[in-house]
């Protein structure tokens, strides 16, 4: 999707210049704002770089903020016939970051952005100096009860129809992830639903739904390398009312990292940067200073 015809996008909320990286399957959109130490923002589903807009507007005065839209999401191309596996997205991200030749970077991840972004971090530990994690994972989810229940639904023909025809991820799953629905504004709904404006543009969200469990072997391989991140300074900002990734997932991260900085946000759901922008910004600024 080009920047033409983006009448739905509020440029006061998202006032960033667009860049596009040419990939075999299409153009990947990203923003590159500010100068200084690089901050790499990696989103999950059904979000895009819009998720991090509040952080980037503030932090780009001191840092170089780079935020991607995965293929199939946001302002990136949305090919119909592509795998949409997290390991494929990770390869795309790696190609982009290699072209930018980043050092002393801070990796900031949420949801599927965890395994995708941290895949680059474990492969380039000398280039990553800090980590910031919002409700995410990088291990097999076969034993996650909430994911197990979801998988039974996701394996049905009905689920595919709902994801592709009814925009189920952006219309239903997004709202379900919010603890405080007052933050689920019409403006926010438009920003996440509009990029997924037709069944042909929703294969990215359907692909991720399939790969929660489908990419378990890749997650296991990734988790075996997690020790390379153990001593990296880490900030964990965790929404404790997340229906999918709660206290038990946070505990796994706490056991991995050596003395992580952890903040439990007790009345916040899955989409932490949307529900607690001021709190998040304060903690992030302090952590980076």
DSSP of 179-247: S-GGG--HHHHHHHHGGG-SGGG-HHHHHHHHHHHHTHHHHHHHHTTGGGGTTS-EEEEEETT-SSS-H
Candidate from 55-64, 70-79, 100-109, 151-160 with smallest mean pLDDT = 151-160
User: How do the domains of the chain map onto residue ranges?
Assistant: 19-288
Give Dmax over CA atoms of the chain in angstroms.
49
How does pLDDT run across 249-258, given as a tens digit for each residue? 999 999 999 9
Q: What is the pLDDT of residue 155?
A: 84
How does pLDDT run across 127-147, given as a tens digit for each residue? 999 999 999 999 999 988 888
pTM, entire model: 0.97
Q: With H, G, I as helix, E, B as strand and everything else as coil, classify residue 70.
A: coil
Order of strands across the sheet with 38-42? 19-23, 26-33, 64-68, 38-42, 105-111, 128-136, 234-239, 261-265
| Mean pLDDT confidence for 233-244 | 97
Q: Under the phi-then-psi rule, with left for phi > 0, alpha for psi from -120 to 50, and beta for the rest, what region is 230? A: alpha
Judged against a pLDDT cut of 80, whether residue 32 lies above it is answered with yes
How does pLDDT run across 158-191, given as a tens digit for each residue? 999 999 999 999 999 999 999 999 999 999 999 9
Q: What is the pLDDT of residue 146?
A: 86
Q: What is the pLDDT of residue 85?
A: 98
Q: Which CATH number fits domain 19-288: 3.40.50.720, 2.60.120.10, 3.40.50.300, 3.40.50.1820?
A: 3.40.50.1820
> How far out from the chain centre does Cα 116 lie?
8
Q: What is the mean pLDDT of the chain?
A: 96
Q: What is the pLDDT of residue 4?
A: 47
| Mean pLDDT confidence for 101-125 | 98
Q: What is the pLDDT of residue 3?
A: 46
| Percent over 90 (pLDDT), the chain | 93
Q: What is the pLDDT of residue 94?
A: 98
Judged against a pLDDT cut of 60, whether residue 280 lies above it is answered with yes
Residues with Cβ within 8 Å of 109's Cβ and at least 6 positions away in sequence, in order, are: 41, 42, 116, 117, 118, 131, 132, 133, 134, 136
């Amino acid at each position: 999707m080009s920047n033409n015809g983006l009448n739905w996008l509020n440029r006061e909320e998202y006032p960033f210049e667009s860049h596009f990286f040419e990939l075999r399957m299409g153009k990947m959109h990203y923003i590159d704002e500010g100068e200084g130490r690089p901050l790499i923002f990696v989103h999950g589903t059904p979000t895009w770089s819009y998720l991090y807009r509040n952080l980037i507007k503030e932090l780009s005065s001191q840092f170089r903020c780079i935020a991607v839209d995965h293929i199939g999401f946001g302002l990136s191309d949305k090919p119909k016939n592509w795998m949409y596996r997290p390991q494929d997205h990770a390869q795309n991200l790696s190609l982009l970051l290699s072209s930018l030749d980043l050092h002393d970077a801070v990796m900031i991840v949420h949801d599927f952005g965890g395994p995708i972004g941290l895949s680059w971090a474990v492969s380039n530990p000398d280039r990553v100096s800090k980590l910031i994690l919002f409700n995410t994972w990088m291990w097999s989810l076969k034993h996650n009860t909430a994911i197990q229940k979801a998988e039974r639904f996701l394996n049905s023909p009905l689920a595919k129809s709902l994801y592709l025809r009814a925009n189920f991820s952006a219309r239903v799953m997004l709202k379900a992830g919010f603890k405080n629905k007052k933050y689920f504004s019409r403006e926010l709904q438009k920003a996440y639903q509009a990029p997924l404006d037709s069944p042909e543009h929703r294969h990215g969200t359907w692909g991720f739904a399939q790969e929660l469990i489908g990419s378990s072997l890749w997650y296991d391989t990734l988790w075996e390398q997690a020790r390379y991140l153990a001593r990296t300074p880490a900030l964990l900002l965790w929404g404790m009312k997340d229906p999918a990734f709660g206290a038990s997932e946070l505990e796994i991260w706490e056991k991995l990292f050596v003395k992580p900085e952890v903040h439990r946000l007790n009345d916040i759901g899955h989409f932490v940067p949307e529900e607690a922008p001021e709190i998040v910004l304060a903690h992030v600024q302090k952590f980076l200073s």
